[in-house]
């Protein structure tokens, strides 16, 4: 591979794109998910990679040791390192256990829900070794059930089909209760979005909840009530959760029941932009408004359109914030960096005729470590303004 790209790999960048590789007849025929030794232009070994000729990311670095053997023992070692970090962070076993490249397990996501692990095999090697990964999770983490959730956008880019299956144990018969930030959330591990719950927002839920004590909260794009349930647990007077998904709002309601805050919780199903416009027309005002939309800019091609959408979110949300209240806007789009997202949000606030102080910037929790060389691993941003 070219010298510049080889230098980036040696400095920690984990991906090799197809146009950076020179393949001979034998390596061109490697099956997706195979392992090979990556060499630089001088044929010096650089490490073991997993190869997928069908993906734009043709190779992912597995181990900088060219002699490494990728098998059950290697998996157990990597999982043990990841588990040790989470065990220091959290007393209860509810967290992201594996965060892909940042945990040196490229393309693999694992979220833990007590004795259940939900894995997303988003790279070809994780699909071919899914059974071995499940066995290692049982041995190292002590889980009794492992669910494979193969519904992510990334799988299509790897040429992998959508599939959800139980690899170990039995599927939970009901949504799983998850204690977090003083509230109890209900996670649907078989039919819910992603792995069933978004652990990445945990610290942002906690910060926003501290602003909500004694006030009214609007939680837009609420999913299963991430921000609203945390706010109620922290002493908010009332919370209204808005989402287009009736099943998600039903789980939010069940979470409020389980948390003992159902009397102060309400929900409203509908398209977020339309609901915010309707609430403004009704003269509603809230002490804290939170908007946590899906990724509007999932890639660079969608960046301009996505930034306009984030601006529109802020423009519609700002009029709903009471004087002296707070607006929290979030983005999970890795293509929209913090500066662009913050600027789009500020434009929206200004176009709504409001002015704000930026008081806080948040990111994903420490169970979602970032790989400094890979911007995609630091996808989540949260900005909080006092208006």
Cα angle for residues 230, 233, 235 (degrees, 5° grid): 115
CA distance 280 to 44: 64
The HSE-up count of residue 131 (CA atoms within 13 Å, CB side) is 1
List all residues 6 or more positions away from 356 whose beta carbon is below 8 Å from its beta carbon: 318, 327, 346, 349, 385, 386, 387
**How much helix, strand and coil, in percent to the nearest 5, is found in the chain?**
40, 30, 35
Q: Out of 291, 328, 330, 332, pick the active-site residue.
A: 332
**127 neighbors 148 (Cβ within 8 angstroms):** no
Output the six-digit token pair for 234: 């922290």
List all residues 6 or more positions away from 259 whose beta carbon is below 8 Å from its beta carbon: 182, 183, 184, 229, 232, 233
Asked if 332 is an active-site residue, the reply is yes
Could you say which DSSP state residue 302 is in?
Answer: G
The catalytic site residues sit at: 332
């Amino acid at each position: 591979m070219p010298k510049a790209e080889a230098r980036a790999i040696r400095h920690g960048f984990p991906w090799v794109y197809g146009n950076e590789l020179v393949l001979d007849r034998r390596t061109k025929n490697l099956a997706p998910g195979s392992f090979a030794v990556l060499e630089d232009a001088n044929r010096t070994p650089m490490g073991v990679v997993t190869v997928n000729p069908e993906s734009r990311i043709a190779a992912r670095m597995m181990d900088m040791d060219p002699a490494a053997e990728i098998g059950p023992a290697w998996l157990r070692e990597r999982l043990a390192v990841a588990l040790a970090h989470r065990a220091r962070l959290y007393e209860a076993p509810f967290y992201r256990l594996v965060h892909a490249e940042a945990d040196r397990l490229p393309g693999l996501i694992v979220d833990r829900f007590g004795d259940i692990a939900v894995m997303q095999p988003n790279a070809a090697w994780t699909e071919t070794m899914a059974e071995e990964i499940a066995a290692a999770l049982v041995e190292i983490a002590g889980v009794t059930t492992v669910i494979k959730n193969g519904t992510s956008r990334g799988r299509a880019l790897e040429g992998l089909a959508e599939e959800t299956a139980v690899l170990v144990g039995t599927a939970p018969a009901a949504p799983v209760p998850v204690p977090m930030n003083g509230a109890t959330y209900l996670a649907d591990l078989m039919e819910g979005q992603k792995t069933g719950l978004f652990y990445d927002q945990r610290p942002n839920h906690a910060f926003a909840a501290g602003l909500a004590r004694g006030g009214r909260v609007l939680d837009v794009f609420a999913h299963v009530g991430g921000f609203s349930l945390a706010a109620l647990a922290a002493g908010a007077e009332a919370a209204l959760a808005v989402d287009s998904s009736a099943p998600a709002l039903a789980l939010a309601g069940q979470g409020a029941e389980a948390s003992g805050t159902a009397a102060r919780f309400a929900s409203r199903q509908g398209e977020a932009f339309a609901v915010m416009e309707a609430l403004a027309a009704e003269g509603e005002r809230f002490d804290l408004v939170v908007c946590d939309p899906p990724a509007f800019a999932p890639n660079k091609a969608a960046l301009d359109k996505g930034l306009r959408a984030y601006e529109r979110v802020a423009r519609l949300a700002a009029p709903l914030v009471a004087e002296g209240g707070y607006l929290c806007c979030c983005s999970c789009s890795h293509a929209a960096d913090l500066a662009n997202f913050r600027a789009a949000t500020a434009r929206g606030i200004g176009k709504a005729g409001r002015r704000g102080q930026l008081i806080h910037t948040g990111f994903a929790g420490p169970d979602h470590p970032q790989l400094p060389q890979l911007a995609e691993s630091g996808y989540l941003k949260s900005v909080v303004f006092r208006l």
